[in-house]
Amino acid sequence: MKITIFNREICVCALLDTNSFMRKKQRRNEEKMKKKTVSMLLTTAILMTSLAGCGGGAQDTAGTPAAETETAQDAGGDTEEPETEAAAQTDSAGPVKISFWNSFTGADGDMLTDLVNRYNEENTDGITVEMDISSDFDSQLSTAFAAGTGPTMILSSSSYRFTYGDYIQDISDVFDKTDLDEADFILSYLDYCSEGDKLYFVPFQIVGYYMYWNKDLFQAAGLDPESPPATWDEWAAYAQKITDESKNVYGSGISYDYAYQIAHIMQRFGGLAVTGENGNWKANFAGNSGYIDFLNMYREMVDNGYNPLEADTDSMASAGQIGMTVGGPWVTAGLDTAGINYGIGLIPTGNAGDMNSVEVLGFSVTTAASDAEKEAAYKFIEWWNTENAQGSSPALEWSVANGFPAYTYSVQEKDEYKASAKLSAMSAANPDAPTDFIVDSSFPGINAVIADVIPEMINAVAFGESSVEEALEKAQTAAEKITANY
């Protein structure tokens, strides 16, 4: 028999047959119910408040994304209300919280956290930067934007302006509203962050690819450890000399799985894969003699055993089994930890001439930010690039600690910067050399070229699925499909 507690109480009362007890009980129950109702209402209110909080500050402070507001104003409609709102937000003195998303999950993420904490403690403007580091940054960002929210500020590749262009604000007034000196920023890097006269990113980190060579393996092969290859012919010749099958040592460490590495190398052989201008893009894969040379060289080195057919060559370099490789500044972390005696230099020049191909990572402000939040983000960016009394700045600290070349002349001139052999080597590129990476820097389809076209091409060649010419023809067709979209 099923009896609820409530019914059982009534049964007990009936047995006792005391009316006063019943009345008391009823009153108590009513009081309990009232209390419960109040507590339920409070709980609901708290829950709703917290849920609203989850929606991001953008809704609270901005109401609508800035882009939408701008559009409304541009349309010449009733502009009074948005202006009033914006003014109220800007004028409202008091603490400002800004959200800051990025994907720095490694050791550099710890340093970034420390620096953000330092800013939160030091700044006297009442600004709090709430940073969220995520390994799934892309999905997080796209989901937030799709839901109409998003962070105030993000740290990402400048190529994100092609993917999330509708959600990133023009921040070209950052130099007017802060003490940052535009002339101090290396122009080619700023160009990377701009479209016409609009600036979407303030540089944060310059990611170039460099050549690393194992000096001990050079010495063992009878090569001068201080003279790395300057051309790709020398690279191939050195690779042959360094390779020692008995010790599992390979001269060359080019991975079929590192699309960025392949792209940096192949553009030295055959120039940019996509050139032209908006609406008139041209793919340059098929019949590109430079690319043919590169793919043939790679294939031969693999066939002859001078280059491993391996996806993960960075681990091998850290294990002292690779004579020469090409990679980003993060490669040094593994080499340093493993105690490898190595040198850093520029990637050998190929037939395409001098190049300084880089990817620029930068700070950007999203359309979810209100005016007040945008200004707070500007202040953080200003702090990042401003020297303190000791002549240091977070930008300098970051560059020296993580081994990324500077994007401002003032940092390049610092003694700590010059004292770093790594940074000096990385900054040795010809400043006049083009900085475009694999495609013209204004081509919006760069991600598709790197994610699909290049991997399919190199895999087909590496595993002998097709000839070099066939692989390039296929890459041409795939690249033309992409260029047709822009």
Partner 1 sequence: MKAIMKYWNKPSRCAYLFLAPSVVLLLLFNVIPLAAAFGLSFFDVPITMNTARFVGLENFTAAFLDERFINSLKVTAVFTLMEVPLQVFGALVVASFLTKNTFRNKLFRAIYFLPVICSATAVGIMWKMILHSNIGFITAVLRSMGLGKINFLNTPGLTIFVVSFISLWRSFGISAIIYVTAIQQVSASLYEAAEMDGAGKVKQFFHITAPSIRPTFWYILMTRFAGALQIFDIIYITTNGGPNYTTESTVTYIYSRAFSSASSMGYASAMSVILFVVIMAVTVFMYRRMNRED
Please give the residue ranges that form the binding site for partner 1 (CB under 8 A). 2, 4, 6, 33, 37, 138-139, 142, 145-146, 159-160, 163-164, 166-167, 248, 256-257, 308-312, 315-316, 319, 321, 445, 447-448, 451-452, 456, 459-460, 462-463, 465
Q: How far is CA 319 from CA 21, 343, 430, in A?
A: 83, 15, 32
Q: Which residues of 258-294 are buried (b: 16+ CB within 10 A; e: fewer)?
A: bbbbbbbbbbbbbbbbbbbeeeebebbbbebebbbbb
CB of 293 to partner 1, least distance (A): 22
- Which lies closer to partner 1 via its Cβ, residue 316 or residue 381? 316
Pairing of strands 210-214, 342-345: antiparallel
- Which lies closer to partner 1 via its Cβ, residue 24 or residue 36? 36
- Which lies closer to partner 1 via its Cβ, residue 194 or residue 367? 367
- Which sign does the torsion angle of CA 290, 295, 299, 302 carry? positive
CB of 279 to partner 1, least distance (A): 19
> Can you read off the two tokens belonging to residue 315?
């681990």
CB of 142 to partner 1, least distance (A): 4
- Which lies closer to partner 1 via its Cβ, residue 289 or residue 315? 315
CB of 36 to partner 1, least distance (A): 8
Helices 468-483 and 289-304: crossing angle in degrees, nearest 10, is 130
- Which lies closer to partner 1 via its Cβ, residue 296 or residue 315? 315
CB of 446 to partner 1, least distance (A): 9
- Which lies closer to partner 1 via its Cβ, residue 114 or residue 166? 166
CB of 460 to partner 1, least distance (A): 7
Nearest 5°: phi and psi at 386?
A: -110, 140
CB of 257 to partner 1, least distance (A): 6
- Which lies closer to partner 1 via its Cβ, residue 308 or residue 350? 308
- Which lies closer to partner 1 via its Cβ, residue 231 or residue 315? 315
CB of 8 to partner 1, least distance (A): 13
CB of 164 to partner 1, least distance (A): 6
CB of 7 to partner 1, least distance (A): 9
- Which lies closer to partner 1 via its Cβ, residue 119 or residue 285? 285
- Which lies closer to partner 1 via its Cβ, residue 2 or residue 389? 2
CB of 155 to partner 1, least distance (A): 15
CB of 281 to partner 1, least distance (A): 15
Which residue matches tokens 């600290």? 397
- Which lies closer to partner 1 via its Cβ, residue 107 or residue 451? 451
- Which lies closer to partner 1 via its Cβ, residue 259 or residue 377? 259
Q: How far apart are CA 41 and CA 79, in angstroms?
A: 39
- Which sign does the torsion angle of CA 336, 338, 341, 343 carry? negative
CB of 150 to partner 1, least distance (A): 10
- Which lies closer to partner 1 via its Cβ, residue 87 or residue 451? 451
